[in-house]
Amino acid sequence: MSTELRTKERPLQTYRVAIAGLGNVGRATANLLLSRRERYRQVYGADVRLVAACGSRSGLRDENGLEANSLGSLEEGLSGPDFIAASSADILIEAGPSDFRTGGPGLAYISLSLSAGRDTIVISKGALVHSGRQLRELAQNSGAMLKLSGAAAAALPTIDLVDHSLKGCKVLRVEGILNATTNYLLDAMMARGIGFDVALREAQLGGFAEADPRNDTQGWDTACKLLILANFGLGANLTMDDLTVEGMQSVTGDRIEAWRSEGLVPKLVGSLTRVDGTFHAGVGIRIYPLADPFANIRGKDKAIRIVTDAMGETIAIGSGKEPLATAAAALKDLEHILTARAAEHVSK
């Protein structure tokens, strides 16, 4: 509150933002950012400009700031980490495709950006899972801020909770419904007593599951988010090999029927447990009684339960609509960067 008022009368500080990745989420992020420029001025005394944006093959650049309508006509060839580096961006928002086995295209964008001291907001998970420690070190060495709410279950507060709301407490256990597609499938199966194959086919026809759904249904997406939370939120140092990852393929119509008759609800859950100072992590199906808040996480909602030494159990449930909710998560990171950078300007 006091920050909001204190910065108002200062001269505007310019922040130049670039966005790498112009799929649904990248475009939603660009549009939301442009729609909030007046807010940035008023609250942070910040003139926020979108100076560059690119997809995998084409992009645009304008030092004075792009407008929403210009994103309709990209120029071939204006793309890649060097294209971003040559723009005058102070802040990169990375929103490309995710591949945790290689780091994906995001890895090169993020590495170069952090090395150059550019504050970096990451939405895709791949690079963070593949090279998290190196990226953290790059940021520490250059003094750049590395933010990743969009990659850690987006609108559901996860890293935020441990890093801000539960600050000072020791996290003992974490349990999360972190993948929307599998929650949607399990919810549909429970509602109608159908098995995995039938539910998946229906969801694919309806556009709620991908043609190759394995990243979701085999638990890898949940595992990625869990690992990012552990490594970036809880100071762990896990790799994918440290996790036991089981998906939801084993959930048959018969098992669904049996659970339902007992008042139980299955969920695909990622969990972390601290044992002797080390976190053990896994992904698999867990069963909850109806009175557990986790049993009532519907459709594409997500949830997390965090148990700490001093604050007991804290649960968060998120149900934002995509891609807007993920865009808003990335731009929450942007405001945290503006807050921190503005504080530096004030005290200089």
**Which residues, numbered 13-72, are part of the site for a second copy (CB under 8 A)?**
32, 36, 39
d(CA 92, CA 122) in angstroms, rounded, equals: 8
3-state class of 133 per DSSP?
helix
Which element (helix H / strand E) includes 297? none
Q: How far is the CB of 67 from a second copy (least distance, A)?
A: 20
3-state class of 147 per DSSP?
strand
Looking at 157, 176, 266, 282, which residue binds a second copy (CB under 8 A)? 157
Q: How far is the CB of 58 from a second copy (least distance, A)?
A: 27
Nearest to a second copy of 78, 138 (CB atom):
138
Start-to-end CA distance of the chain, whole Å, equals 21
* 9 touches a second copy by CB under 8 A: no
* 327 touches a second copy by CB under 8 A: yes
Which element (helix H / strand E) includes 340? helix 324-347
* 240 touches a second copy by CB under 8 A: no
Plot region of 226 (φ>0 → left; ψ -120 to 50 → alpha; else → beta): alpha
Buried b (16+ CB within 10 A) or exposed e, 199-215: bbebbeeeebbeeebeb
* 232 touches a second copy by CB under 8 A: yes
* 340 touches a second copy by CB under 8 A: yes
**Which residues, numbered 194-213, are part of the site for a second copy (CB under 8 A)?**
none
What share of residues in the chain are helix, strand, coil (percent, to 5)?
A: 45, 25, 30
CA distance readout (Å), 2 to 327, 339, 341: 27, 12, 16
* 344 touches a second copy by CB under 8 A: yes
* 191 touches a second copy by CB under 8 A: no
Nearest to a second copy of 56, 314 (CB atom):
314
3-state class of 232 per DSSP?
helix
* 277 touches a second copy by CB under 8 A: no
Nearest to a second copy of 91, 328 (CB atom):
328
* 77 touches a second copy by CB under 8 A: no
* 321 touches a second copy by CB under 8 A: yes
How many alpha carbons fall within 13 Å on the CB side of residue 170? Answer: 9
- Residue 113 tokens, joined: 């950006």
Looking at 93, 161, 186, 226, which residue binds a second copy (CB under 8 A)? 161
Applying CB under 8 A, the residues found at the interface with a second copy are 1-2, 5-6, 32, 36, 39, 136, 139-140, 143, 145-146, 155-157, 160-161, 164-169, 232, 235, 290-293, 296, 298, 308, 310-321, 324-325, 327-329, 331-332, 334-336, 340, 343-344, 347-348
